[in-house]
């Protein structure tokens, strides 16, 4: 009865083919299927059929994201808890998307659409599970291991955080509060998977996406990622640096539709007893960008 990880994000993009080119050649995801105008993608180190879906739309942003649960009957259990919390919820039937089984879909207090699912076709990786090599031939671009986390904005960070901890059994690795400690203006949450975060919320307009992050191997691969971005003339929002929050190493940039992406690595390991770290708003600059020590306007304001 456990959420395993953020398993999928579906993004709206303005030009589908241009976006597919970017996510396959620059990010280096593999296209694994197309159906009803959507393109399904996965990172080389993920074994489920897909983790990233693109749909063409008039405006960029997040269609929905989804957590994979450990057991099929976790869906019913969470269904009850989610409805008790007061969220509107519906079942998504098998076959709604490629290679997926039944799911439940609901709206967060911040207006974001979330799904839970267990059933998805398992396609494995190119390295396989029998006497495997550590990484496959033929990697392209940034070549991240996986979709790592999303950061979203919402008006009421406190309530959505309570939803994730109380209903979804997730944990808070770090939080940002006003200086007086009265209001939570940011929270970073993880499932029982050792990650620094699966999902983060920052105070801002509801329903918005701040960024979708992919996990790369190490600090040299963050450099390589930024090099590849410049070579491909991709707009970089934040050049390689360290986060205070999560300690991770990072660079931020924009997909062709303006959705922010991150190449992220490192950060600490979390367990269920990880002592939540608190940042006060006056130190948020250092918390987000440990070296620069102040937010940039674009980082604070560009949302999709």
Q: Footprint of its own copies on this chain (CB under 8 A)?
A: 2, 4-5, 45, 47, 68, 70, 122, 124, 129-135, 137, 145-146, 192-195, 215, 217-220, 223, 226-227, 229-231, 236, 239-242, 244, 247, 249, 251, 266, 268-269, 271-280, 283, 286-287, 289-293
Nearer Cβ to its own copies (86/275):
275
Q: What is the CA radius of gyration of the chain?
A: 18
Q: Between 95 and 268, name the residue whose CB sits nearer to its own copies.
A: 268
Neighbour tally for 1: CB within 10 Å: 10
Catalytic residue among 49, 112, 210, 243: 243
Taking Cα atoms as reference points, which of 27, 57, 39, 60 lies closest to residue 232? 27
Angle at 50 between CA 89 and CA 169, to 5 degrees: 45
**Shortest gap between Cβ of 71 and its own copies (angstroms)?**
9
Catalytic residue among 100, 211, 215, 249: 211
For residue 271, the minimal CB distance to its own copies (Å) is 4
197 is catalytic: yes
Give me the catalytic one of 149, 174, 190, 249: 149
Nearer to its own copies, 178 or 230 (CB): 230
Active site residue 71: no
Q: How far apart are CA 152 and CA 186, in angstroms?
A: 10
Give the whole-angstrom CA distance, residue 227 versus residue 189.
30
Q: Which candidate in 46, 100, 249, 262 is catalytic?
A: 262
Q: Which is nearer to its own copies, 70 or 73 (CB)?
A: 70
Active site residue 149: yes
Instruction: Assign 224 to helix, strand or coil.
Output: helix
**Least distance (Å) between residue 206 CB and its own copies:** 28
User: Whole-number minimum distance, CB 286 to its own copies, in Å?
Assistant: 7
CB of 121 to its own copies, least distance (A): 13
- Of 2 and 35, which CB lies nearer to its own copies in the complex structure? 2
The number of angstroms, rounded, from the C-alpha of 183 to the middle of its chain's C-alpha atoms is 24
Q: Phi and psi for 79 in degrees, rounded to 5?
A: -55, -45
Name the active-site residue from 197, 210, 215, 249: 197
Is 20 or 176 the residue whose CB approaches its own copies more closely? 176
Q: Give 300-304's long-range contacts (Cβ < 8 A, gap of 24+).
A: 302/237, 302/254, 302/258, 302/260, 303/153, 303/204, 303/205, 303/208, 303/209, 303/210, 304/12, 304/59, 304/60, 304/61, 304/62, 304/208, 304/209, 304/257, 304/258, 304/259, 304/260
Least distance CB 268 / its own copies (angstroms): 7
Active-site annotation, residues: 149, 197, 211, 243, 252, 262
């Amino acid at each position: 009865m456990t959420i395993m990880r953020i398993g999928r994000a579906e993004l709206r993009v303005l030009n589908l083919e241009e976006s597919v080119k970017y996510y396959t050649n620059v990010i280096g995801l593999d296209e694994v299927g197309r159906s009803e105008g959507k393109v399904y993608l996965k990172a080389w180190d993920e074994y489920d059929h897909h983790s990233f879906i693109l749909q063409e739309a008039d405006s960029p942003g997040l269609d929905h994201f989804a957590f994979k649960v450990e057991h099929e009957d976790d869906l019913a259990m969470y269904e009850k808890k989610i409805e008790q919390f007061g969220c509107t919820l519906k079942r998504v039937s098998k076959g709604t998307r490629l290679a997926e089984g039944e799911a439940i879909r609901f709206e967060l207090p911040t207006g974001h659409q979330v799904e839970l699912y267990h059933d998805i076709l398992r396609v494995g990786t190119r390295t396989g599970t029998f006497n495997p090599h550590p990484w496959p031939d033929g990697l392209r671009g940034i070549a991240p291991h996986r979709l790592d986390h999303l950061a979203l904005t919402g008006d009421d960070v406190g309530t959505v955080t309570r939803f994730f901890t109380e209903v979804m059994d997730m944990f808070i690795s770090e939080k940002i509060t006003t200086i007086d400690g009265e209001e939570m203006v940011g929270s970073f949450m993880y499932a029982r998977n050792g990650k620094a975060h699966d999902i983060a919320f920052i105070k801002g307009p509801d329903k918005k996406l701040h960024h979708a992050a992919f996990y790369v191997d190490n600090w040299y691969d963050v450099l390589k990622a930024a090099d590849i971005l410049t070579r491909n003339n991709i707009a970089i929002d934040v050049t390689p640096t360290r986060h205070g929050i999560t300690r991770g190493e990072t660079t931020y940039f924009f997909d062709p539709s303006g959705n922010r992406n991150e190449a992220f690595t490192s950060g600490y390991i979390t367990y269920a007893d990880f002592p939540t770290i608190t940042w006060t708003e006056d130190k948020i600059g250092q918390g987000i960008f440990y070296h620069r020590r102040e937010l940039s306007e674009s980082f604070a304001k560009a949302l999709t």
